Amino acid sequence: MSLTYLTTCTLCNQRFTVPGLEDLVKTGVGQQQVGKIIQQLSEHVQKKHPKQFAESLIPGLQLSGILRLKHFHSDDPTANQMQEWMRHQIHEMTRNRTVSDEKIREQVHKLGLPELEEPRVSTLIMEMRDIIEERGKFAPKQPGTPATDDNGQPKLDTP
């Protein structure tokens, strides 16, 4: 017996009753039903929230492009830089969690380390978080220098 669940649009709170996907993904027919559910939800966004729907198309095209381009290597550094920037943008949009500096400091404090060690450990954890989350990777190299051009595209490093 398949359960049903409520799926709520975060833009307008309209609710949709959908079957539980666990049972559906196990069969070919069920996978088609999953596609229909996604289509129904997409049509809602397209009709009721056209601006957000249009905004969602660009990342989809970027992801599609990245998945295709990952099978190629280019000698063009600008092309490689643009591909990496698009990959980073998708990473930023799909990251579920982050941990603030304050939360890291709180957790390190709970360890009961000597007072002089707390800042060193906190800084180390923050630096590791920044590497994992790619924080600042596409930030301006110099303060006040924009990371993007007037069209919102990455400012590419040119020799």
pLDDT tens for 23-47 read 777 766 777 888 888 899 999 999 9
Mean pLDDT of all residues in the chain? 82
Per-residue pLDDT 10s for the chain (159 aa) are 467 889 999 999 999 988 877 777 776 677 788 888 889 999 999 999 999 999 888 888 888 888 888 888 889 888 888 888 888 888 887 777 888 999 999 999 999 999 999 999 999 999 888 888 877 766 545 544 445 555 555 555 554
Task: Report how far residue 138's alpha carbon sits from residue 73's, in angstroms, rounded to the nearest whole number.
Answer: 21
pLDDT of residue 154: 53
